[in-house]
Amino acid sequence: MDESGPAGGAPGRGVVGAAAGMALGFAGWFGGFGAFLVVASLGAVGWFAGHLVDRGTSLREFLDAVAGRRP
């Protein structure tokens, strides 16, 4: 059998994007536009935190780089 998915059996970005879109759709449908914005902003924060973890950067290192400080 040909395994065309990502290595390790993790879901691909398309699956994750579809799940995020469905979550935003449900929030908008059942909770209104305010709930849509809350879910979208928390999703963005979660994506950003995951991106930092994938790169191996801690929050302190990121904030120091933004502020222009070097350790």
Instruction: Please say if the pLDDT value at position 22 is more than 80.
Output: yes
Work out the pLDDT band at 1, boundaries 50, 70, 90. very low
% of residues, the chain, pLDDT over 90:
7
The Cα–Cα gap between 18 and 62 comes to: 29
Work out the pLDDT band at 7, boundaries 50, 70, 90. low
In this structure, which amino acid lies at residue 33? F
Instruction: Please say if the pLDDT value at position 50 is more than 50.
Output: yes
Q: Which of 29, 30, 24 is nearest to 46 (CA)?
A: 24
The chain-wide mean pLDDT, for the chain, equals 79
